[in-house]
């Protein structure tokens, strides 16, 4: 088992820098290229980030993220336009380059989380006024909130932490004009409602998520990056939620929280080194991501056939779209 897991990990896509493609930039998970004609290529790698650190490589993760986002972009395009032009490869999206807005829109239905910007760690420390919302005493972890709430953060530079901010501060500080904030809030809540509805049909709870937006050349607010993936969202198994809550157990999850909880059980990731993650744990994590994709979309995950590496396949498919750069 360990040897098989390690072999899959060794074949992960980590390096997505293709010489010749213009204006390359590297994020924690995606590599991007900005073309002179206004197109942006985003390659989803298998790099795994948590707590603002890149910690491991997870088999098939980039493909799961890209294909899950593809499904959600399709089923939400009536709510908000998105940046998608095409998907020339399972790990790649060709998108319209946008002027990105400096706020991440986080939407929550539950009192949960493990990162510094999540509401449960703040609440557990005794804070009761969070992101402009007042919370009563007596709430417990993973409890459903009375209302869906917005808990935006300011986008941090690579390596820095996102910072909590209240809606009123966003407008008062000039980060966004009031009309932009109002439109982002309306769209974010509508996207979340659609996600919650679709997830429920498949026996899942969409717990919380984050959205990133930009504006196009016409000033239209446009959804970017990803949507309702296991990296950007929490998903719980609905059928076991009540029983596990009653037993004081964490909900069954199909998202990044599985890895976050594994880490926080062993260290304080903000102040201590994160231990090496065993191959078996990484493979379990990979299988959870695949399970979410299949459950939400109703499609079978197509495992690469192994005839060529993921990197070679991506390069071949990019060459078909951008032959002048190869």
Q: What is the pLDDT along the chain (326 residues), one digit of tens a residue?
A: 566 667 788 889 999 999 999 999 999 999 999 999 999 999 999 998 888 788 889 999 999 999 999 999 999 999 999 999 999 999 999 999 999 999 999 999 999 998 888 999 999 999 999 999 999 999 999 999 999 999 999 976 555 567 899 999 999 999 999 999 999 999 999 999 999 999 999 999 999 999 999 999 999 999 999 999 999 999 999 999 999 999 999 999 999 888 888 999 999 988 999 999 999 999 999 999 999 999 999 999 999 887 889 999 999 999 999 999 99
Distance CA 43, CA 49 (A): 15
Say if residues 150 and 98 touch (Cβ distance below 8 Å): no
Angle at 226 between CA 224 and CA 228, to 5 degrees: 130
Q: Which CA distances in Å does 249 have to 108, 115, 241, 243, 253? A: 20, 19, 9, 9, 12
Residue 67 sits at the vertex; the CA angle it makes with 61 and 73, to the nearest 5 degrees, is 130
Whole-structure pTM over 0.85, yes or no? yes
CATH number of 100-246: 3.30.470.20
| C-alpha span between 143 and 20 (Å, rounded) | 50
Q: Is residue 84 within a helix (H) or strand (E), and if so which, with residue range?
A: strand 84-89
Distance CA 244, CA 266 (A): 22
The Cα–Cα gap between 56 and 50 comes to 9
- Would you kindly state where each structural domain of the chain is located, as residue ranges? 100-246
């Amino acid at each position: 088992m360990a040897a098989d897991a390690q072999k899959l990990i060794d074949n992960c896509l980590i390096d997505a820098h293709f010489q010749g493609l213009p204006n390359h930039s590297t994020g924690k998970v995606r590599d991007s290229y900005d073309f002179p004609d206004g197109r942006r290529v985003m390659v989803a790698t298998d790099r795994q980030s948590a707590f603002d650190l890149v910690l491991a490589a997870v088999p098939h993760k980039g493909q799961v993220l890209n294909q899950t986002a593809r499904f959600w972009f399709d089923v939400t395009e009536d709510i908000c336009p998105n940046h998608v032009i095409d998907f020339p490869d399972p790990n790649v999206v060709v998108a319209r380059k946008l002027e990105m807005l400096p706020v991440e829109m986080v939407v929550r239905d539950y009192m949960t989380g493990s990162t510094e910007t999540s509401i449960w760690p703040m609440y557990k420390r005794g804070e009761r006024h969070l992101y402009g919302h007042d919370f009563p005493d007596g709430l417990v972890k993973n409890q459903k909130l009375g209302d869906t709430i917005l808990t935006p953060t300011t986008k941090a530079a690579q390596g820095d932490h996102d910072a909590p901010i209240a809606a009123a501060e966003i407008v008062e500080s000039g980060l966004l004009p009031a009309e932009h904030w109002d439109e982002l809030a309306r769209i974010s809540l509508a996207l979340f409602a659609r996600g919650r509805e679709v997830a429920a049909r498949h026996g899942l709870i969409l717990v919380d998520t984050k959205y990133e937006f930009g504006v196009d050349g016409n000033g239209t607010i446009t959804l970017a990056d990803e949507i309702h993936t296991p990296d950007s969202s929490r998903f719980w198994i609905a059928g076991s939620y009540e029983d596990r809550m009653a037993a004081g157990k964490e909900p069954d999850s199909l998202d990044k929280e599985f890895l976050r909880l594994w880490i926080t059980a062993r260290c304080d990731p903000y102040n201590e080194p994160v231990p090496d993650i065993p191959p078996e744990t990484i493979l379990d994590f990979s299988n959870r991501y695949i399970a979410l994709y299949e459950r939400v979309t109703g499609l079978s995950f197509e495992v690469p056939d192994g005839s060529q590496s993921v990197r070679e396949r991506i390069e071949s498919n990019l060459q078909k779209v951008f032959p002048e750069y190869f």
